Structure 1
């Protein structure tokens, strides 16, 4: 079995983020919780992951403060998973992945789910990186500035 290397002390924010949410099961769990699934059984049915894998990923997301266990909304003895503020902060990450997938992984006429405004039903606008004063940015006009040693 390959030993997992921790990136929690990395200087790169991308590496640290991947240390917490960097496997596909974790991102799919987070997507499903954003979509309203809360119970282990709902997540298991949606994802089709083995129970042990799902349990391990959920436990890690709770330990990392992305999800929390809360009392069931129906008043039963069950517990449900809810996004913490740290977890809610991943919404734009999920939307970015969605939009990248739409752009590059589907044929033009291929059916797919779509993200819409809950009030109007209108499609959500494309995400765009901008400067503080609103000028659009892309990969070729940004750079990573490393902290001083």
Structure 2
């Protein structure tokens, strides 16, 4: 099972998004700074590392607040677990240096525009928790059941999220 993290970072009323390439279509899309947890990392340390790699925004892992968790299952078997965090910064400077070579831009967007851009995301486990958080919902745990991944638009089924325990 793989572990993943994502971050919703604020600069005053603006939200940080990065332009990455969609895993399924390889087309550019605006999304959250995110990525996999490496061996020996906690989710907050991984979130801080991915944030600096994909945007140049540097934050201490202690600044991250857990806002949502999710899991992806297929046929009842858990494929991945994700932790979504939020944090704030006062430094507007951005300079992506993504070692994976998929992120080519990072920008600050007003919240409404960030929601519009995230709504275009094809991957429900990223899109749904992020939009719900930006619309005011906190502390949710999601379970997504992958029902079809044979096209460039994976299909998921999920139940309403429930509150998670810290």
Q: TM-score if structure 2 supplies the norm length? A: 0.22
Higher helix share: 1
Bigger relative contact order, structure 1 or 2 (CA pairs below 8 A, ≥6 apart):
2
Greater C-alpha Rg:
1
Higher strand share: 2
